[in-house]
Chain A
Amino acid sequence: MTTTEHNPDRTADVLIVGAGASGAAVAASLSEAGFDVVCIEQGHWQDSFKYPTADPDFELKAMSSWSINPNKRRLPEDYPVNVEDSAVDPVMFNGVGGSTIMWVAHTPRLHPSDFRVKSQDGVADDWPISYEDLEPWYDLNDHVMGCSGISGDPANPPRSERPMPPIPIGRDGEMIAGAFDRLGWHWWPSDAYINSTRYGQGRDACNFCGHNMMGCYQRAKASTDLTYWPRAIDQGAELVTGARVREITTDSAGSATGVNYLDTEGNDRHRAARSVVMAANGVGTPRLMLLSDSENHPAGISNSSGLVGKNLMFHMFGGASGVFPDHVDPWVGPVANIILSQEFYETDPDRGFLRGYTFQMSRGQGPGSIARGVAGHRVPWGEDHHAVLERRFRNTLGLGSIGDDLPEEHNSVTLDERLTDSSGLPAPKITYRVSDNSRALLDHAIAQGTKVLEEAGATEILVNPQSRETGWHLLGTARMGDDPERSVVDKNGLSHDVDNLFIVDGSVFVTGGAVNPTPTIQAIALRTADYITNNRGDLKA
C-alpha cells in the first residue's frame, strides 16, 4: 500500500463521511476512477493482531470496552445514543472498517420481492430500483469482500458462482439442516464474507476459532479496512481518522461545499469539496444532516420532505435456543453464519402478518456469556448454578430470526435536547416501538423455530421473544425514491434538494427485507459511485 501526501487546503472532488462498509466501497471505486477522494472518520485504524478475542478476559471486554453497544463501549470516538424511548438499542462500531469490524459477516441478499413491497403487499413503498438493477454490484462486492458460499439456493434467484466454497457447516450445522430436511423446509449454507480459503491480500482462511464477532485475528473475516481501503489508498484516496464531522457546509445556493469537523486535538477545521457523500450509517447520517441546518436548509440539509431521520428500521430479532443431550461444542466455527432458512420469507396472509423472516443458526461463545444468558436466560445463582451451566454450556445452539421491519414514520432518529457526545455535539435520540405486525411475525418465528430445534433433538427450549441489544441494521432514515415529497434521495443516492450531496449507507433503504443488509448497502454504494463516475464529471477538478 502506498500513501500520497495530501494538501489539506485543496478542494477535493469527493468528501466521504464515514470509513465503514459503504464509505470504503465508494472511496475505492471513485479513487480508481480518478476522483480526488478524502474520507473523514471519527474512529481509528484497528490492528487485527490486537483484537481481544485471544485475551483471557475477552468475555469481560465484550461487556465494556469491546461491547457492540456504543453506550457501553463509551470510547471517545463513539457517540452516546438516547434509547429511553426505544425497544431496541442500536449497535455499531466507529473506526476504519466501521461495523464490519464487529459483525458476523453473514451476507445474504435481499429478494426481488423486497423491492416491491407496496405493489405486492399493499404496504410501505416500492424501491425506485429493482433486484436486477443492483445485481451487478452485488456480484462485484462479493468478489472484493470475498464471499464463501454455493449457488443454487432455491429460495433466491440464481446467482453467480461464489468466489470460495462454503465454510464447513459442522456436525452441529448438519443436525439443524437435517431437521429442516425432515420438516420439508428450506435451508441453505450461508453466504459469508469469511474466507474458506486464502483470498485477498494478507487474508488467511478461517481457522474456526469461534469468536469472530470482536474482530478476526486471521483476517479471514472481511472488513473494509482489509478489503476496500488498501485499494482506495493505493489509488491516492486520503483517509483522515480521529476526526469528527459536525456539519455539512453549504453555499448561498444551498449546494454542499465540504464539512466542518473537529480534529484529534479538538480543533475546528474545514475541508472543502465539490461533493459530499454520507456514509455514517442509518443513525449517524440523519444525525449529521439534522445538525447541518442553515438558511437554505432550515430543517437540516436535504430535509424538504421532512423525512430525514424518519422511518427507522432495525430488523426485529428474536428466536429460540435448544439445549441438546449431547455435546455440540458450539464455540467451534463462525458464530452465526452457518445455515439459514427462508421457508417463511415471503408473505402468506394465512399467517396473520405481512412479509416474513429468515432463520439464522447460531453458536455460543465462552462459559461467561452462557452464564450471563442464552436467549436472555441467565443461569441462576446459588446451588443450581453449576448444574444449569454445565447442561447449557457445551450443548446449546440457537435459531434466531431476522424479521422484516416495515417502515413507520414515528420510528425515528432525532437530536437529543440534552445528551451530547464527547465533543459537545447533540447526540441522537431513538424513538422506536415494535409494531403489531413485527410482534406477530416474531411469535410465528419462535413457534416454528421451536419445532426445528425439537426435531433436531433439543430437550430444552429457551425462548427469546425479542432481543434489545440487536439494532445492528440501521435502515431507512433518508430513504430513496422518485417522489421528492416521499423520499430524501433519488435512485442514484443523490439528494433531491442538494445537487452534490449523496447518501450511500443503510439510510437509503425503502424497506428492510429480512436479511443482514451489508451486501445490499455496499452494492448500493458501488452503484452510486458508478453513477458519479459516469454522469458527474462536473465534480472532478
Chain B
Amino acid sequence: MVIKTDTNLLTAALDRVVPPVGDLPGAGGLGLAEEVIKRSAADFRFQDALTTVLGDLPSPDDFLALDEDGQDDALRTAESSHPDAFGLWLDVVYTVYYMQPEVHQRLSWHGRSPQPEGNIMPPWDESVLGVIRQREPFWRKV
C-alpha cells in the first residue's frame, strides 16, 4: 500500500535516479511516480521492491529537506541495504521512464515494434561470403 506522502517521496527519488536532461524533466518531474506505483501494483515482486526501497528511505519530509547530495546518499544507503530490491525497483523505474513518448523523441527512437510496416534492411548480398567461401571444410569427421 503506497500512500500520498510516499508519492511525494517517490517523485523526489525518481528525479535523483533519472535526473533532468536537456529540456526534459527528470523521471519525477515527468509525473511518473503514479505510473510506477500503478505498474508495481500489478506484480507482487515489483510491489515488494517498491515498498522495500521506500521503507529504506528517510521519511518524506526528511528526504525532501535534504539537498541533492543528501538525497543521493540516502538512495545509496537504500541500495546497499537491499541491493536486489533496489535493483528491481530501478528496473521498473527505468522501464517506465523509457516507455514515455517524450523520452523516445529525445532518443530518436520509434518507441515500439513498428507494425505492420517494420524496418528497412539492405537486401541479402552473397558477396559478403567471399572470404569464408575459400575455406576448406573443417568439421570433425566421425
Contact = CB atoms under 8 A, between A and B. Distances in A.
Interface of A: 53-60, 63-64, 72, 111-113, 115-116, 119-120, 130-131, 150, 152, 154-157, 165-171, 174, 177, 180-181, 186-189, 196, 206-211, 217-218, 331-333, 345-347, 366-368, 371-372, 378-379, 381-383, 385-386, 390, 393-394
Given A60-B96, A64-B42, A177-B128, A209 B118 contact: yes
Contacts of B103: 367
Interface of B: 16-19, 21, 39, 42-43, 45-46, 72, 75, 87, 90-92, 94-99, 101, 103-104, 107, 109, 111-126, 128-129, 131-133, 135-142
B132 A187 contact: yes
Contacts of A181: 131-132
B17 to A, nearest CB: 4
Contacts of B46: 63-64
Contact of A208 (B19, B98, B101, B120): B120
A382 B72 contact: yes
Given A55-B112, A150-B126, A378 B87 contact: yes
Given A112-B141, A174-B128, 16 more contacts: A58-B112, A119-B142, A150-B126, A152-B133, A167-B124, A168-B121, A168-B124, A211-B112, A218-B118, A366-B112, A371-B94, A372-B95, A378-B91, A382-B16, A383-B19, A386-B21
B91 to A, nearest CB: 5
Contacts of B90: 378, 381
Nearest to A339: B128
B118 A367 contact: no
Contact of A54 (B91, B112, B120): B112
B95 A385 contact: no
29 contacts: A60-B92, A64-B42, A111-B140, A113-B139, A120-B140, A120-B142, A154-B135, A154-B136, A154-B137, A154-B138, A167-B124, A168-B123, A168-B125, A181-B131, A209-B113, A217-B113, A218-B118, A331-B109, A332-B120, A366-B98, A366-B109, A368-B95, A371-B98, A372-B91, A381-B17, A381-B18, A382-B16, A386-B18, A390-B107
A95 B87 CA distance: 31
Q: Which 10 A-B pairs have the closest CB atoms?
A: A207-B118, A371-B94, A368-B98, A368-B95, A53-B113, A367-B98, A181-B131, A381-B17, A211-B113, A113-B140
B132 A154 contact: yes
A155 B142 contact: no
Contacts of A188: 132
B139 A157 contact: yes
A150 B132 CA distance: 13
B113 A54 contact: yes
Nearest to B95: A368
A379 B90 CA distance: 10
Contacts of A174: 128
Nearest to B94: A371
A346 B142 CA distance: 12
B113 A156 contact: no
B98 to A, nearest CB: 4
A367 B39 CA distance: 18
Given A209-B113, A211-B113, A367-B98, A168 B132 contact: no
Contacts of B122: 168, 170-171
Contacts of B140: 111-113, 120, 346-347
Contacts, number: 173
Chain A interface helix/strand/loop/mixed: loop
A155 B18 contact: no
A186 B21 contact: no
Contacts of B92: 60, 63
A508 B23 CA distance: 58
Given A56-B99, A112-B141, A165 B132 contact: no
Nearest to A341: B132
Contact of B95 (A59, A115, A208): A59
B116 A218 contact: yes
B121 A208 contact: yes
A210 B111 CA distance: 12
Contact of A60 (B99, B101, B104): B99
A131 B141 CA distance: 11
A116 B97 CA distance: 51
B94 A379 contact: yes
A166 to B, nearest CB: 5
A208 B42 contact: no
Given A60-B96, A181-B132, A381-B18, A208 B118 contact: yes
Given A54-B113, A64-B43, A371-B94, A156 B121 contact: no
Contacts of A217: 113, 115-116
B133 to A, nearest CB: 7
A63 B107 contact: no
Contacts of B116: 207, 217-218
A60 B17 contact: no
A378 B83 CA distance: 13
A114 to B, nearest CB: 9
B15 to A, nearest CB: 11
A535 B128 CA distance: 47
A58 B138 CA distance: 43
Nearest to B118: A207
A206 B113 CA distance: 13
Nearest to A113: B140
A55 B99 CA distance: 10
A347 to B, nearest CB: 8
A345 B18 CA distance: 43
B115 A112 contact: no
A386 B46 CA distance: 23
Contacts of B16: 381-382
B119 A385 contact: no
A154 B133 CA distance: 8
A385 B19 contact: yes
B72 A59 contact: no
Contact of A209 (B115, B124, B136): B115
Contacts of A210: 113, 119
